Structure 1
Amino acid sequence: MSDNALATSTTSSNAIVTLISRILLTLLFIPAGFNKLTSLAGTAEYFAAKSLPLPTVTAVIVGLVELVGGLAVLFGFKTRYAAILLGVFTIGAALVAHLVPWDQANQTNFFKNLAIAGGFFVLAQHGAGTLSVDAKLR
């Protein structure tokens, strides 16, 4: 294989891996955001039980961050900003919802959230790749 063919193969492979990574990172966020926005009363009740301020407003903001941020990452639009937003958001969610040291299930979810945030920060550093809206707008 020539150097040119190898470079093209690697570039194509990187684009596909980055696209798959974006899809996998958004599998939780898009449906979660949609569900929060379509079940606003229940989401607000949950947030009120967590003593979050303005639970209905918080539910709308959280739902929009998950849904719109997830869609932005999925399609690769303003990916670096969306990935940073979702990474910080996911750390916040870990601290608010899963920092329960005596509960093993919550601790597992806490560390899963941190791992997901790490994935978002790598994506923010790396960018959306060539199979993205960002690449088409360049």
Structure 2
Amino acid sequence: MTTHERQRAPAPDPPTYRLPSPRAPVGELSGRTRWSTADAVVVEVTGEIDVCTVSRLEAALDDFLRAGPRVVRLDLGEVRFLGAAGLRALMRAHERAAAVGVHLVLDAGRSHPAARALDLLDRLRA
């Protein structure tokens, strides 16, 4: 039998890989004013700060900054996820606060995701 007469075995199907399903947008973010005076506001944020929820966070921060206290403290201790969109929003809020003379304090508290994200934010600003 010559080479061109040999029958070739069918090529095996290429391996298939299952991709993880995209994370469903939960849209779970809440906040409450824990303490407020004319000079300072403490806001507690819980849930996830991502592309689906960041607009609510930005709107709330804008309201607090417009009120004009000397200090706004954002308690992120109950945040379960802080994504890139949330970091960008916090950076913009920090710039807006500085422009209007408000000291914005970001407190990660017990939240490991918030602590990691804020550490990254500090490294980016350095």
Q: Considering the TM-score relative to the shorter chain, is it more than 0.5?
A: no
Tell me which protein shows more helix as a share of its residues.
1
TM-score, scaled relative to structure 2? 0.30
Q: Bigger radius of gyration, 1 or 2? A: 2
User: Whose relative contact order is higher, 1 or 2, with alpha carbons under 8 Å and at least 6 apart?
Assistant: 1
